Copies of this chain bind each other. A is one copy, B any other.
Amino acid sequence: MVSRARTSTSARMSTSARIPVWEDALRQHGYRLTAPRQAVVEIVAESGRALNPTEIYDRARVAYPRLGLVTVYRTLEKLEELHLVQRVHRPDNCQAFIAGVEGHQHLLICQNCGRVQYFSGDQLEALIQRVEADTGYQVHDHWLQLFGKCGEC
């Protein structure tokens, strides 16, 4: 029951299709494409759940056992800088990462299994204008996150 106009980018681009895009982005920003980086990219690009550095490390070592945890941190830093991944904030854990999407989208997170879905169309302009008038703040950015239970949980 997904209306086309509202389909999230993560649904539009298959997770495996994301990998060459990320690898190009790394190269185009002067970063070398190495085996340990490929192992990290592969895990994060293909996960529909937010993963923390240790989880990524454990999973990526299956494909590349020599991988060091430090490299996971360093690769995530670069992927975040290129907006290829983004950090997911949850009440108990703000150190998890998920593949990013283009444009302004928000997250819907399953509290049970951690599955993450993007959505857009928040229409907060009126609210933001009202809050600006009420408080004297200038609003430059906003976060909206929904928490719940996914269809499979």
Quick check: which of A15-23, A24-32, A44-52, A132-140 contacts chain B, the rest being far away?
A: A132-140
Whole-angstrom CA separation of A135 from B123 in the bound complex: 19
**Chain B residues within an 8 Å CB radius of A143:** 89, 143-145, 147
Chain B binder among A34-42, A57-65, A66-74, A114-122: A114-122
Instruction: Flag if A139 contacts B135 (CB, 8 Å).
Output: no
Cα distance, A121 to B119, chains bound together (Å): 21
Q: 27 A–B contact pairs at CB < 8 A? A: A1-B134, A2-B134, A6-B134, A89-B94, A89-B143, A108-B135, A117-B137, A119-B134, A119-B135, A122-B127, A128-B146, A131-B146, A132-B148, A135-B151, A136-B150, A137-B148, A137-B151, A138-B148, A138-B149, A139-B146, A140-B149, A141-B148, A142-B146, A143-B143, A143-B144, A143-B147, A144-B144
A residues contacting B by CB (< 8 A) are 1-3, 6, 87, 89, 91, 94, 108, 110-111, 117, 119, 121-124, 127-128, 130-151
Interface contacts beyond A139-B146, A143-B144: sample of 14 additional A-B pairs, CB < 8 Å, sorted by A: A2-B135, A6-B134, A89-B143, A119-B131, A135-B151, A137-B146, A137-B148, A137-B149, A137-B151, A138-B149, A139-B148, A141-B147, A143-B147, A144-B144
